[in-house]
C-alpha cells in the first residue's frame, strides 16, 4: 500500500493527517488549519485508506458518522410514527377485519390509512427492523474502523512533537519562564503534573503529561454494550429461549401450564381489593370513583413426578405456594407467572327447582355444574331431569338449532327433558336466562331458576426469557462505557524546553477545556511558565469583531 513519508522520515499510511512520529501535519487541509483535528492523531482510519472494492464502499458507507447520525434520526422518526395512534396490541379486538374497522371507526380515514400502511404495527414491520439492523451494522463498522487506529495512536505516542504540531493545538504558549532557574523548569512541571494525577513521560528536553487516556475507549465500550444488547434481543427468536403464554384459571381449578412441560397451577382464590378513599379531584376529572388497590391470585404450583403419564394431573407434588400480585410474580426455574387480568363472577353452577307450574310445588332441586354438566339428574325413581343440550354462550337460533358463541359460560342455555310421575313420557323445555321455550306446547312442569353460584377467574401470563442475562450484560457494559466516556476525559500537555531555555507548550483534551485550563493555570503558576492562549477563543473574538463591523 502507498505510504506518506514525513519530513522526519517516518512512514505513515495513506489517510493519516498527522505524522505518527513527530506530529507534523501531512495533508494540505491539516497544514492550512490553525487548530488540527486531534481525533486519531498519527493514525489513519480504514475508511480513509481504501475505497476500491464494493466491500470497501459498503464499509465506508456504514463507517461514516454522517450516515450513522442519519440512521439514528431515521430510527427516531420511525419510532415516533408508531405513537400517532395506538398500536394494534393495545386495542382489544383480535381479527384483521375487526382491527381495520376499529381504526376507521375511531380515527376516521386517517386511521384507516394508518392501518392499511401497516403503521398500526410498525415495530414488527420488516422495514423498521431493517432500520434497526442498519443502525447496528453502522455501530459495528464505525467502531472497528476507528477503534483500532485510535488504540494505535494512543499506544504509540511520542513525547516530543514537532513545532508545527504544537502550534496547531488549541491551547498554546511560548516564551521564557517568568521567574527562577530555567534548568529546573521541566522538573517543576513534572512534579506539579504528577500531583494533579497526570502520567508524565520525558524524552530529553520534552515532556508529555497525560491523564484519563482510558476514557477514550468509553464510546467503544458502550457501542459493544449496545451490540450485545441488540443481539440478546434477537435471541428471542431461538426456540426455547422465549416463552410467552397466557392462561385463564378459575378459582378451585387446576390447569396444565402452557409452555412449561409437566407443571400445573391451581387457583385457590382470586382477590380484588379497592381503595376506600373519597374520590379525589384527579379521580373526578377522570370520571372514576374507585381505584383498584390489589389484584391477587393465591396460587399453588405443582410438578408431575418423573414417572407420571404426561398431561394427566395425577402424581403431582407441590412446588410452591404463592400470592401472585402485580409487581410480584411467582418465579420458578426461570419461569414467571404474572397477574395480568381477571374476570369476576363467572357462573359456576345454576340451581333450578323442578316446579309444577300450576301449584308452584317443587319436586326437588337440580344443580347444574357448568364445568361438568351431567346427562341426567335423578330426583327419585319416577322423577328425573335429562340434559339434552347445553349452550354455554347462547347467541340465538340458526335453522331452529340453538347456537353458542364461545365455550365460556357467559349466557348459558339448556334443553331439559323433565320426567315426572304426572308426565312419565317427559316434557321438553328450552331454558335460557330470561327466556323459556316449550317446543311441544304447554308443559305442566318447568325448571324454575333458583340461584347461581359464581366464582372468579384469574388471567395469568407465563413468561420465560432466557435472554435477560445477556440483555443485562449488554446494558451494564453500555452503562459502564458511557460513564467512562462522559465522566472522565483525556487531557494531554506537551512541554518542550528550547535551546535558549524558553518554553513551548501545547495542550489538548477531548472534552472539558474548562478542566484542563484549570490544571494548566496551576502548573503555569507553580513552574513559572509563560502565559498560554486559547486559540479558539481568539477566533471567537475575531468573529465577533467581524460581526460587529457589519452592523
Partner 1 sequence: MSLISLSGNLLYAAFIAYLVGTLLYGGAIKSSKPDGAASRAEKWGKLALIVTIIGFAAHVGYFITRWIYKGHAPVSNMFEFTTAFGMFIIAAFILISYMYRLTALGLVALPVALLIIGYAAMFPNSVDPLVPSLQSHWLTIHVITAAMGQSILAISAVAGLLYLLKSINPKIKSKSRFWMEAVLYFGVLVIGFMLATVVFKGMGYEASFTYIDTQDAEQEITYNMPAVFGMNDYTLLTEKVMNPLVEMPAVINAQKLTTVFWSFIFGSIIYLLVRLVTRRRILTMLHPLVQKVNLNLLDEVGYRSVLIGFPVFTLGALVFAMIWAQEAWGRYWGWDPKEVWALITWLFYAAYLHLRLSKGWEGKKSAWLAVVGFAIILFNLIVVNLVIAGLHSYAA
Q: Which is nearer to ligand HEM, 153 or 304 (CB)?
A: 153
Residue 472, C-beta contacts closer than 8 angstroms, at least 6 positions apart: none
Q: Are 388 and 395 in contact (CB under 8 A)?
A: no
Residue 482 in the binding site for ligand HEM (CB under 6 A) = yes
Q: Are 353 and 362 in contact (CB under 8 A)?
A: yes
371 Cβ contact partners less than 8 Å away, ≥ 6 residues apart: 250, 253, 348
Site string for partner 1, 150-189 (x = CB under 8 A): ----------------------------------------
Q: Which of 25, 68, 392, 412 binds ligand HEM (CB under 6 A)?
A: 68
**b/e burial code for range 86-111 (CB count within 10 A of at least 16 → b):** eebeeeeeeeeeebbebbbeebeeeb
- Give the C-alpha separation, 238 to 242, whole Å: 8
Dmax (CA) of the chain: 133
Q: List, as one string, the DSSP characters of 255-274.
A: EEPTTSTTEEEEEEEEEEEE
Name the burial class of residue 339, with classes exposed (0-12), middle (13-18) and buried (19+) by CB atoms within 10 angstroms of its CB: buried
Query: Is the Cβ of residue 34 or residue 312 nearer to partner 1 in the bound state?
Result: 34
66 contacts partner 1 (rule: CB under 8 A):
yes
Residue 118 engages partner 1 in binding (rule: CB under 8 A): no
Does 212 engage in binding with ligand HEM (CB under 6 A)? no
In the list partner 1, ligand HEM, none, the entry touching 282 (Cβ below 5 to 8 angstroms by class) is: partner 1
Give the three-class secondary structure for 201. Answer: strand
User: What is the separation of C-alpha 546 from the centre of its chain, rounded to a whole number of angstroms?
Assistant: 50
Pick the piece of the chain touching partner 1 (CB under 8 A) from 80-88, 371-379, 435-443, 519-527: 80-88
First to last CA, the chain: 53
107 binds partner 1 (CB under 8 A): yes
Contact with partner 1 (CB under 8 A) among 82, 259, 364, 530:
82
Q: Is 277 in the site for partner 1 (CB under 8 A)?
A: yes
Instruction: Report in angstroms how near the CB of residue 331 gets to partner 1 at its nearest.
Output: 10
Q: How far is CA 279 from CA 272, 291, 386, 526, in A?
A: 18, 9, 51, 69
123-to-87, 128, 245, 373 alpha-carbon distances in Å: 9, 6, 20, 46
Q: Based on the shown chain and the rule CB under 8 A, indicate whether residue 101 belongs to the binding site for partner 1.
A: no
Partner whose binding site includes residue 139, from partner 1, ligand HEM, none (CB under 5 to 8 Å by kind) = ligand HEM
Q: Are 480 and 206 in contact (CB under 8 A)?
A: no
Tell me which of partner 1, ligand HEM, none is bound by residue 201, counting a contact when its beta carbon lies within the kind-specific cut-off of 5 to 8 angstroms.
none
Residue nearest to ligand HEM (CB): 68
What letter does residue 408 receive in the DSSP assignment?
S
Interface with partner 1, residue 338, by CB under 8 A:
yes
Answer for which of 5, 7, 8, 73 binds partner 1 (CB under 8 A) is 73
Nearer Cβ to ligand HEM (64/461): 64
Choose, by CB under 6 A, the member of 427, 485, 490, 493 that binds ligand HEM. 485
What is the rounded CA–CA span in Å between residue 395 and residue 55? 64
Pick from 171, 182, 197: nearest CA to 503? 182
Q: Is 386 in contact with 497 (CB distance < 8 Å)?
A: no
Among 222, 339, 456, 524, binds ligand HEM (CB under 6 A): 222
By CB under 6 A, the residues from 109 to 138 that bind ligand HEM are 135, 138
Contact stretch for partner 1 (CB under 8 A) within 60-68, 251-259, 311-319, 407-415: 60-68
If one asks whether residue 364 binds partner 1 (CB under 8 A), the answer comes out as no
Give the binding site for ligand HEM (CB under 6 A).
Answer: 65, 68, 71-72, 135, 138-139, 142, 146, 150, 219, 222-223, 226, 482, 485
Q: Which positions lie near partner 1, rule CB under 8 A?
A: 37, 39, 65-66, 68-69, 72-73, 75-76, 79-80, 82-83, 86-87, 89-90, 105-108, 111, 123, 244, 275, 277, 280-283, 285-287, 291-295, 325-327, 329, 336, 338, 340, 461, 463, 468, 471, 475, 478-479, 482-483, 486-487, 511-514, 534, 536-537, 540, 547, 551
Amino acid at each position: 500500500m502507498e505510504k506518506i513519508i514525513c519530513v522526519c522520515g517516518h512512514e505513515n499510511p495513506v489517510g493519516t493527517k498527522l505524522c505518527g512520529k513527530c506530529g507534523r501535519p501531512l495533508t494540505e487541509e491539516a497544514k492550512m488549519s490553525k487548530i488540527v483535528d486531534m481525533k486519531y492523531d498519527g493514525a489513519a482510519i480504514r475508511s480513509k485508506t481504501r475505497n476500491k472494492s464494493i466491500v470497501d464502499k459498503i464499509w465506508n458507507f456504514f463507517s461514516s458518522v454522517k450516515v450513522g447520525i442519519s440512521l439514528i434520526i431515521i430510527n427516531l422518526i420511525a419510532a415516533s410514527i408508531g405513537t400517532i395512534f395506538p398500536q394494534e396490541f393495545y386495542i382489544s379486538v383480535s381479527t384483521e377485519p375487526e382491527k381495520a374497522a376499529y381504526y376507521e371507526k375511531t380515527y376516521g380515514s386517517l386511521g384507516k390509512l394508518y392501518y392499511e400502511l401497516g403503521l398500526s404495527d410498525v415495530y414488527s414491520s420488516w422495514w423498521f427492523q431493517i432500520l434497526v439492523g442498519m443502525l447496528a451494522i453502522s455501530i459495528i463498522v464505525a467502531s472497528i474502523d476507528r477503534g483500532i487506529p485510535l488504540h494505535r495512536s494512543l499506544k504509540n505516542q511520542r513525547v516530543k512533537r514537532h513545532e508545527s504540531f504544537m502550534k496547531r493545538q488549541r491551547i498554546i504558549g511560548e516564551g521564557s519562564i517568568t521567574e527562577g532557574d530555567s534548568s529546573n523548569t521541566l522538573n517543576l512541571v513534572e512534579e506539579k503534573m504528577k500531583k494533579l494525577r497526570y502520567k508524565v513521560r520525558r524524552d530529553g528536553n520534552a515532556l508529555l503529561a497525560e491523564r484519563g487516556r482510558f476514557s477514550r475507549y468509553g464510546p467503544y465500550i458502550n457501542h459493544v454494550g449496545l451490540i450485545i444488547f441488540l443481539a440478546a434481543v434477537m435471541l428471542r427468536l431461538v426456540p426455547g429461549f422465549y416463552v410467552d403464554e397466557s392462561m385463564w384459571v378459575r378459582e378451585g381449578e387446576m390447569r396444565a401450564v402452557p409452555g412449561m412441560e409437566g407443571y400445573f397451577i391451581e387457583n385457590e382464590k382470586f382477590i380484588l381489593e379497592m381503595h376506600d378513599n373519597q374520590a379525589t379531584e384527579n379521580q373526578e376529572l377522570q370520571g372514576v370513583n374507585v381505584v383498584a388497590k390489589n389484584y391477587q391470585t393465591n396460587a399453588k404450583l405443582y410438578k408431575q413426578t418423573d414417572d407420571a403419564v404426561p398431561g394427566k394431573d395425577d402424581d403431582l407434588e407441590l412446588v410452591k405456594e404463592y400470592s401472585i400480585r402485580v409487581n410480584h410474580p411467582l418465579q420458578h426455574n426461570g419461569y414467571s407467572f404474572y397477574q395480568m387480568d381477571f374476570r369476576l363472577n363467572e357462573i359456576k353452577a345454576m340451581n333450578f327447582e323442578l316446579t309444577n307450574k300450576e301449584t308452584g310445588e317443587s319436586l326437588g332441586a337440580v344443580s347444574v355444574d357448568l364445568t361438568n354438566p351431567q346427562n341426567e339428574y335423578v330426583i327419585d325413581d319416577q322423577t328425573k331431569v335429562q340434559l339434552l343440550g347445553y349452550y354455554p354462550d347462547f347467541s340465538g337460533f340458526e335453522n331452529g338449532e340453538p347456537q353458542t358463541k364461545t365455550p365460556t359460560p357467559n349466557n348459558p342455555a339448556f334443553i331439559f327433558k323433565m320426567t315426572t310421575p304426572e308426565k312419565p313420557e317427559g316434557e321438553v323445555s328450552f331454558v335460557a336466562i330470561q327466556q323459556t321455550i316449550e317446543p311441544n306446547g304447554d308443559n305442566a312442569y318447568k325448571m324454575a331458576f333458583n340461584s347461581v353460584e359464581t366464582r372468579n377467574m384469574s388471567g395469568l401470563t407465563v413468561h420465560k426469557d432466557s435472554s435477560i442475562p445477556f440483555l443485562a450484560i449488554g446494558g451494564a457494559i453500555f452503562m459502564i462505557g458511557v460513564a467512562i466516556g462522559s465522566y472522565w476525559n483525556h487531557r494531554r500537555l506537551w512541554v518542550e524546553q528550547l535551546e535558549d531555555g524558553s518554553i513551548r507548550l501545547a495542550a489538548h483534551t477531548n472534552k472539558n477545556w474548562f478542566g484542563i485550563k484549570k490544571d494548566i493555570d496551576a502548573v503555569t503558576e507553580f513552574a513559572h511558565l509563560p502565559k498560554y492562549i486559547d486559540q479558539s477563543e481568539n477566533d471567537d473574538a475575531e468573529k465577533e469583531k467581524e460581526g460587529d463591523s457589519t452592523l
